[in-house]
Every structure is written in structure tokens, then in C-alpha cells.
Amino acid sequence: MALATAVGLGATAAGQAGAVAPTTLRDGCAYVDDNERAQNIQTCWVPSESMQTSVTVKVRPSDRQAGGSEQAAYFLGTLSDPSANGRGELYGTEYNLVAIPDSAKTWSSNWQSTPVGNDGAPLTTYEGNTFTPQWETFIGEELPVFLNERFDIGTSGNAVSGLSIAGGQAVNLALKYPDVFSVAVSRSGYYQTDSLLGYLAVPLTLSSRHGVANGFDAMWGNPFLPGNTWGENDVTARIAEAEANGQTIIVSTGNGLVSSKAEWDEMIAQGGLAHVAIGGVLELASFTSAVLLNAQAAIFGLPVDFIYTAGAHTWNRWIRTDAEEAARLEDALRRYEEGRSPALLLSAKPEAAPDPGTTTSATETSVPGSPTTTAAPTPSADVAETDSAPQPTPTAKAIGAVGSGR
């Protein structure tokens, strides 16, 4: 694996803290505005052979002293905005936070061929070159080495979190790179992608949310032809690997029902009644998918923890549960660091899901075993970065707005 090779050339998997103040800028990084400077969030431009360009990554370094280990939570989306995946203020400063804003636009996945927009133009880098995204290779192999060299972050024992279309992919990344990620958090994700419904839903989501027209066959290949990788990217087909890997998987979902006037107003403001319907259907699909995964985890005693609540596919719903998700992510990382089993084996019977309006774990019983756009973010819209400072090495051009993965 490329990661192991790179680590052998100088990076250290242990990730020993180097007592470098979190306010110290690393090589290849900059503060892009006063808001992020105040939060100690550095924007770094990471050269990537697999992505054929430099990729924008945002890092909030930890404040740990020398001698301790360094762990990170990776976010497949933005970090600094309050209505974004991974609100930085919810996480303790003993952990490094790493955001890959552009990854969610193309499912944070490895593609088989070049994505093409709804306008018929291929996705290109800012250098004007067409390319085939290889997000998994970048996030799982190249980025950990960069973070180890610049921030002393360990190349093992980290967490990865994704929202909406990046939710299931966060779990996929963890399962594909268990040496890098011991924890995965999926928020309103979808897990049974290798199915007739998945063959429809995945391309439709890429097209409607991110303007990518050829998601059916360009990302994982035509699902009806040899050589496709839909099965390799189906969470339910691989979730059993989490137990053998000693990983913790955290799944959060709403039930698709609008739970407050604020949530209703958010969707109406974004697209009227049609948007209300879409927001409800998307979250109901996530809920149904989570319940099916819940049943699988309960039957086989897998280390998957579920959080159910009322709500549609909206920022109001996500903000209600992100503090609990952050706490569970940190707790899992802490157990891993302390040398305990990272798998808190909580699972539940699907019928035990709570009544609408509550936010709880799926179960009360234990199962045996272990660049960027410049538009400001608005509720229930794909979050866009607001950075306006010059970027010395821009990231790949994105189709659609940055960040949320919705």
C-alpha cells in the first residue's frame, strides 16, 4: 500500500506530538481569513499524484504537548461554518480536525472515468486538465502522510465523518483503510448502494445535488457490466469487517418527518413545497437504509452504534444531533488511544427505534462482542467556502458548491 511505503520513508504511524503551537503555520498552509485565523484553522494545499492536482485541506491543529500521540478527525466536507459537517467548536482541542471540502462533490470516491457535468463539460482541474477523481487514494494514503509530516498526526487510530452522500462513503473509507481509521461517523447516509434503488439514487443525487451527469457508469462502472465496483462500495456488503478491524461505526439519521417550524421554514426558503418533499424523501431513504443496516448489525453483533431522531434532510436536523455525534466520536478515539477496545458494541432491533422528536442511541442493550465557490452558506443548501484570499496552489475544479455532500 502506498501509505505504508510513504510511512517507511519517514512518517511515523505513532504520531508523536511535537509541541508545536496550534497557531504556528505549517509549510504549504495559510490563514485565508480572520475568522479561520481566530479558530486556528489553516488552509493547506496538498500535492496529490492520484488527484493530478493540489487539493485544498483545512486543518485545526491540536494543542497537545510533546510526547503524546496525535489523532485526527477527518471530515468529508467543511469545518469552520456553523451550518457545516463538523462544527469545530464541538471538538476538544486535544484532537486535530481535518476537513476536505471538495471531496463530497464527487462522492469522496475513486472514479473509473472522468466525471461530466450536466452541461456536457468534463470536470477539470484549475489548470484546465481533465482528470479522474481518486478521493479514496488521496484521503486514505496520501493525506495521512502529509498530515504526519506537517502536523505530527498519526497515520493510524483516526476518525472519519461524512454527511449525506459522504455519509456511507465515510464508512467505506474506514473499512478500506482500517489502518488509518478506527472510527467512522455517517450522518444521514445511504448504505445499500449495490441494488436497483442504489443504481437510481446514486446517479440522481450526483446530478441533482452536484451537477454530475454520468454518475451511473463513470464512478464505479456500469453496475450491469463486468469490472464495476458497486459491490465494493456497498456498506452492507462490508460492514462485518468492522468487527475484525476493531472499529467503531456511528450512524445517525432522522425519520424524514419535519420536526419543527424552523425546519419547515428552512426548506420553504430553499425551494418551497417541492424542497420540503425532497428533504423528507431523502431523510426517509436514509432512515430506511439505517434501519436495514441496524438489523444486520444486531443479528451479527457488529460494532455499529445508531442515533435516531425526528427531522428531514436539513441543517436544523443535523445541528440538533451533531454535539452527540461529536461526543461519541471523541469517546471512541479516546478508548482507542487508551488501548481499550474501540468498539462499543451497541446495536438495536429496528422496531425499537424511538418515537419522532427524540434523539437517542438505537438501543438500550449491549450486543455481545466488541477550488471552492464563494457563495456564503445558507441553511439546507450545499455549503460553500467563503475564502477569498489567493490560493497559491488551487484544488481541483468542482461541479457544484463545496462541502456538505448533500
d(CA 120, CA 213): 8
pLDDT tops 60 at residue 242: yes
Is the CB of residue 233 less than 8 Å from the CB of residue 220? Answer: yes
- Average pLDDT, rounded, for the chain: 81
Is the CB of residue 394 less than 8 Å from the CB of residue 45? Answer: yes
* Cα distances (angstroms) measured from residue 14 to each of 4, 102, 338: 13, 28, 13
Residue whose C-alpha is closest to residue 138's, from 165, 167, 168, 98? 98
**78-92, 154-168, 311-325: least confident range:** 78-92
Q: What are phi and psi of 183, to 5 degrees?
A: -135, 140
d(CA 51, CA 361): 38
Fill in the amino acid letter for 391: Q
**65-69, 141-145, 354-358: least confident range:** 354-358
d(CA 168, CA 221): 18
Is the CB of residue 255 less than 8 Å from the CB of residue 287? Answer: yes
d(CA 99, CA 59): 6
pLDDT tops 70 at residue 228: yes
pLDDT tops 70 at residue 342: no
pLDDT tops 80 at residue 12: no
Fill in the amino acid letter for 51: M
Binned at pLDDT 50, 70 and 90, residue 357 comes out as: very low
pLDDT tops 50 at residue 348: no
Binned at pLDDT 50, 70 and 90, residue 19 comes out as: low
pLDDT for res 275: 85
pLDDT tops 60 at residue 241: yes
